[in-house]
Amino acid sequence: MKMGIMIIIIGLIMFIAGLIMFYSIELGQIDPLLRSIKNTGTFIGLSGMGVTLAGILLYLINRNELPMAETYDV
């Protein structure tokens, strides 16, 4: 499997894990542990979006393009 696709998959997993961590905790929690879990979910989710974008760009840069068929009709 190409490296770009693997990075995209890892980024999507990070993004989904961040969503789960963020939305599993209710708003307005005063417990420091729960607030840190919610903040960690935010960080992991945003990082996952960046990793996914990097994987997409890496995939687009490294894909093999077909050679141009140069035909000159005179």
Report pLDDT digits (tens) over 31-58. 899 999 999 999 999 999 999 999 999 9
Mean pLDDT of 11-20: 96
- CA atoms lying within 13 Å on the CB side of residue 31: 7
Whole-structure pTM value = 0.79
User: pLDDT band at residue 20, thresholds of 50, 70 and 90?
Assistant: very high
Distance CA 43, CA 48 (A): 8
Distance CA 26, CA 34 (A): 9
Helix axes 32-62, 3-23, angle to 10 degrees: 160
